Amino acid sequence: MPSGLSVLALLAGVVTPTIARNVVIPRQEAQSSSSSSDATIPFSALSSALASLGPAVTTFRSNSSSSSSTADPSATFTSTTASSTSEVSGRSSSTTRSDATASTTTAGKGPQSDCSTTTDLGWIPSGLPTPTLLPTTNANAINATRTGPLGNHNGGVDLGSDYSSQALDKFWDDWVSELGTSVTKYHRKKVGDVQQPPFREVYCPPQPYPLPEDPPALFPDYLMTSPPENVLTQYKFPDGFLFGWATAAQQWEGAVRDDGKGPTVWDWAARFPGFIVDNTTSDIARLAALGGNVYSFSAFWTRVLPWGSAESPVNQAGIDFYRNLAEYCWSQGVEPVLTLFHWDTPLALQLKYGGFASEDIIDDYVNYAETMFTAYNGTIKKWVTFNEPVVFCSQSTFPGNLTSLYYPYTCSYHLTLAHAKAVRRFRELNIQGEIAFKSDNFIGVPWREGNEDDQRGVDRHEAYQIGIFAEPIYNSGDWPQIIKDDLPPEILPRFTDEQKELIKGTADFFAIDGYRVGYVTAPPAGFEACIANTSDPLWPVCNQVNFYESTPYAWGLADFADPRVPWLQNTWRYIRGFLKDLTQRYPTNGGIYLSEFGFAEPEENEQAYKYIVTTDTKRELYFLSYLGEVLKAIHEDGTDVRGTFAWSLVDK
């Protein structure tokens, strides 16, 4: 869930007055991709790992192209594409760009068998310090005026059938790279050359990995009566519990035009000022040294299939990169989890037929998914088809030829079928592992306890924010009844009986990006008036989320995050009930994962110095609270929570 807030956050580490920052979760010895860590992890170790977070550097190198790895932990792998890091000197890398073009680098030009190690990580200081001034603007941001959305055309752009490298270069030049000011009837806007990565070789981290010294105490000890090492000592996370971080390809890969990658809609759109909040993206910090045992990342569809379609040639350099990344994770005792789609529709398919506005996307997506399944069978054991489809389909930036009244539900229809067909293909091919998609948002808590209108609002909120995909996939094969009652078939396409059978049961576990839980009440106009009025700002969900208590004093719901993300609060009080409710509504044999959770420290982007933003106690308390509540959910509620993924390793 890239927020666009390029705050330093987890990358720089979180500061606590009581936790020693040199404590990490014990990692297993190097292991093959056929197994994962079975260590029983205490709460204090997980919270300390979050407190110890800092950037690391690695060069991926390997002589092996096999689908599994039993490499020595010190062995690394060179990709022919897109891995990188750079000096952390602020809220994002010193090499950030206005798009994802050069914030990271390719890692080399071919497989190598050795790896140069450095102790100069660029961020571990020595001697007397000099305060690090943070950049306030991105010098590489373009000055063009943002134009209308790319998707405001009717599709049908003829890109021809030439899939050569020369044709791909021309495609980049025509639609992304050339500087210009004209806008065609297709809302094409060319906004500046794609900048090349500033360096192409990064070093492997030293082993063992150095971590920062303890920070000074921020509070007196009498206010911190229960340091993490003394919290919930009667409980431990169970064997096999996954604890780690998650990222999206658009955040960290960079090397946007290298090694045969085709453009995505984000490569086009992110080049306009304002599309990403401060026109920056971030580098990936190497997870292996941070103590987690799982890393969730997404792949660029167009790094594997540059043109997106079934007719597109497979880009072997892209296949090799993701394999090398996954194998490196395993070599460090870290399980890789792969998300196939994190909102980066191939630009060629958006132009050709409007992306997810067209049913043509279904077969093209399934072809892409099958390509990935067969390439990484045995290497990737947990797969995610789509990230947060409700959010993706609500992005009217790319609606094809549909209005905002129709597009979200046409997109939802096509995406659900694409997911179901991909999962059926996954099972037909006997691919090892588990597969599901990632939900987001929350069910909700009635604003006024016992109030029937508020409970109705909660039911509507759940149906539109989670149930719209979870109900057909986990339960009935069909849309929630609430939504079918609201929306006619012209807006919400109906599934046939055959499609319902195809869809039902196409997930092996439940994944929720559960950042917060909110109070829900009735819409101001009332339910019936709202449902009947498509111009009502709350239509069609027709419920209202409140961030304050219903008592006369109107206390705030919880501790609030950065003002630019007003929806985010530290609602630890409700996380246990939320997770339990989800497992009861949508039962699976694979348990539930808190697949994203994280916090935006207020006003980090406005701070002048790095030492200010690394003092992020609100984020620290958020993670401590959520991890503690997850632990209690497992032991006191019997909720089958299998893992947590902090968002994000970078750029959050």
Distances (CA, A) of 265 to 99, 142, 171, 483: 12, 18, 13, 29
- The secondary structure of residue 102, as a DSSP letter, is S
Question: How far apart (Å, rounded) are the C-alpha atoms in residues 389 and 394?
Answer: 8
Tell me, rounded to whole angstroms, the distance of Cα 570 from its chain centroid.
19
Token pair 């390809």: residue = 249
Diameter of the chain measured on Cα atoms: 71
Rounded to 10 degrees, the C-alpha dihedral 245/134/342/320 comes to -70
Tell me, rounded to whole angstroms, the distance of Cα 509 from its chain centroid.
17
254, two tokens: 């960079």
Tell me, rounded to whole angstroms, the distance of Cα 628 from its chain centroid.
23
226, two tokens: 């229960």
Residue 596 is inside which H or E element, if any? strand 592-597
Token pair 């068998």: residue = 113
Beta strand 242-246 pairing with 294-298: parallel
Per the CB < 8 A criterion, the answer to whether 209 and 221 are in contact is: no
Considering 253, 335, 370, 388, which one is annotated as catalytic? Answer: 388
Question: How far apart (Å, rounded) are the C-alpha atoms in residues 623 and 516?
Answer: 12
Question: How far apart (Å, rounded) are the C-alpha atoms in residues 12 and 32?
Answer: 30
What number of other Cβ atoms are within 10 A of residue 176's Cβ? Answer: 24
The single-letter code of the amino acid at 284 is I
The single-letter code of the amino acid at 571 is T
Question: How far apart (Å, rounded) are the C-alpha atoms in residues 649 and 285?
Answer: 7
Rounded to 10 degrees, the C-alpha dihedral 361/367/370/372 comes to -80
Question: How far apart (Å, rounded) are the C-alpha atoms in residues 327 and 70?
Answer: 9
Any bridge partners for residue 384, and if so which? Answer: 339, 436
What number of other Cβ atoms are within 10 A of residue 119's Cβ? Answer: 9
Tell me, rounded to whole angstroms, the distance of Cα 261 from its chain centroid.
20
Active site (annotated) includes residue 388 = yes
586-617 in b/e form (b: 16+ CB < 10 A) is bebebbbbbbbbbbbbbebbebeebeebbbbe
611, two tokens: 């030492």
Q: Which of 522, 530, 392, 546 is nearest to 469 (CA)?
A: 392
Distances (CA, A) of 550 to 13, 460, 517, 524: 36, 20, 16, 15
Distances (CA, A) of 79 to 60, 107, 332, 336, 551: 6, 6, 17, 16, 57
Per the CB < 8 A criterion, the answer to whether 512 and 592 are in contact is: yes
Beta strand 544-546 pairing with 510-513: unpaired
What are the catalytic residues? 388
